[in-house]
Structure 1
């Protein structure tokens, strides 16, 4: 089970934000149970990535999130240009991001247990790095298959969206919930839906929507989508209620997955389960309504076989509405 927390965003507009991001990373390291050496590696990763944004990027933001159950902190850097013309040179030792104690992105890659990067000129760059504790037993397969980015609405301290993945063999189940409105009460609603999912994530989309609807009656309600993807069979089954949208996107196909009208916990019709084909190279993307729906599928073509968090971060960067909680969750099939 991979149940995500939301990301905290730090717009890197001046040097003070670098220190602010580093201090937040230290707090996350403590919450995750990282030891002193691991926390030190995370501090260097945050410093290098934030300083790189400050010195070289336009509209750079650093996103940090912890995975307490997995003793892991995820750091994502996104910017709007100018992009990296020579990625190989940037990864070489001795190419510093500008006066830091490390050696640029090469240091970030060495200090992280997982690292991936995508850049286009002049579009911009997305970097994903994860630092985890020695006790973390994850093999890395899960992070190669699933990824998500979630941000609270402007001015909020908590995110009203929630997401969770469960992996078993060739099967991947996912729930994305968007509590009505935003703030703590919206977060309570999405959290209640995820609790239902955690109890039996492979129960099936229709069953889970019914259970979530019953559980959320004591909350303000939420839009919820549940998908059950079977890589062996090449299928995706879905059910949901409200304004959460899925898409199956590859270099040759683009299919939208919709939910029924209604709100789990308030009023929904009898849930209907829909089956879709899952092409071998297609990404399964699920977005809450904080993300614009009319994005071009070709923007994800360069990252189809990469860390799904790259695709999630690209969509968040380019298509976040900026006035509500926003979540993008992405699943890809194993090679």
Structure 2
């Protein structure tokens, strides 16, 4: 967000996404105010601010994520007070964002910066897990060659992260084919899904893929994958790495192996494509273990994106 004109640009884009997601006029108006407030804050106060907007068409939700690298908010509670505004923006402060959004969460550190996620539309979910993800394209590209998807069903949740080889439209085609196959039967075993994805990607350049199924009732995560997509299970007392086997889905892989790993209470299941540095410290996510998982994705994207490739962070949080 470099200048005031970008605020209007963001608001116009939000209007298009609202129409795509079938939001009514009232919800579209609320979204416009949310975007205006968050974007204006980035322009006026942030260092290296970025505003991300994403449609979730099946859920009729538009998600807005604001990310910056400082200076941070020293008194979050005061800034969250309804009507508080340092810039005289139409929404009259972050309190208005919290009131207008159907879901809102914020994390800030001084001097680290501020992360905020707001969603307009949809309803409350009763699943045992909550999901959030961010994908950004490589510099100079119009499309992202990575893809991600979640499926939440009561105590069970499934996720996929696919990183098409290279970047650009051909990489995006490969990851889209992987997501389409996942969507046909997302709660199948990861091993079976990997075999299906491998077959469906033969007509593409191929992709690195990780597939996971998490079962809160059983307290276990099952995973299978090929290539350089890495998962981690992070809780307040543990940090486990989930690795994929060598190979490229759609090109060459060994017989898929499925790994079972305990899923601790309140743990975050984090999966990153190779556009994210792998050696981030688990303590980075400690303040966010009980927060919206999109905030955990945002902090890793902000602080550990390599900046030379497509990058994805997908996070699944066990609620209990």
How does the TM-score come out when normalised to structure 1?
0.93
**1:174 Cα deviation (Å)?**
0.7
Counterpart for residue 50 of structure 2: 61
How many residues are aligned here?
Answer: 320
Distance 2:130 2:25 in 1: 30
Superposed CA deviations along residues 11-42 of structure 1, whole A, max 9, x for unmatched, are x1211111111111111112112222221111
Distance 2:96 2:248 in 1: 47
Greater shift after overlay, 110-119 or 275-284? Answer: 275-284
Point out where structure 1 has 5 or more consecutive residues left out of the alignment.
1-11
Counterpart for residue 31 of structure 1: 20
Distance 1:102 1:173 in 2: 37
Counterpart for residue 91 of structure 2: 102
The list of structure 1 runs, each at least 4 consecutive aligned residues, that deviate by more than 4 angstroms after superposition, is none
**1:169 Cα deviation (Å)?**
2.1
Distance 1:181 1:142, change over 3 A: farther
Aligned-CA RMSD value: 1.3
Counterpart for residue 289 of structure 2: 304
**1:97 Cα deviation (Å)?**
4.1
Alignment partner of 1:126 out of 101, 115, 125 = 115
Distance 1:143 1:178 in 2: 27
Counterpart for residue 32 of structure 2: 43
* Preserved contact between residue 144 and residue 307 of structure 1 (Cα < 8 Å): no
* Preserved contact between residue 235 and residue 276 of structure 1 (Cα < 8 Å): yes
Alignment partner of 1:72 out of 48, 61, 64 = 61
How does the TM-score come out when normalised to structure 2?
0.97
Distance 1:142 1:178, change over 3 A: farther
Counterpart for residue 217 of structure 2: 232
* Preserved contact between residue 285 and residue 331 of structure 1 (Cα < 8 Å): yes
Counterpart for residue 331 of structure 1: 316
Greater shift after overlay, 108-117 or 190-199? Answer: 190-199
Distance 2:5 2:180 in 1: 38
1:13 aligned to 2:8? no
Superposed CA deviations along residues 101-152 of structure 1, whole A, max 9, x for unmatched, are 12110010111000000111111110000011xxx4x423459611111111
